[in-house]
Amino acid sequence: MAKMKVHRVRLMQDGKLDGYQEVQAETEKEAAEKLYGGLLFKQGPAARVRAMVLSSGGTDNPTLFYER
Q: Which pTM was predicted? A: 0.86
pLDDT in tens, 1-50: 678 999 999 999 888 888 999 999 999 999 999 999 999 999 999 889 99
Cα separation values, 8 from 29, 47, 68, Å? 11, 21, 22
Rounded Cα–Cα distance for residues 36 and 66 (Å): 11
DSSP conformational letter for 18:
P
Domain ranges of the chain: 5-59
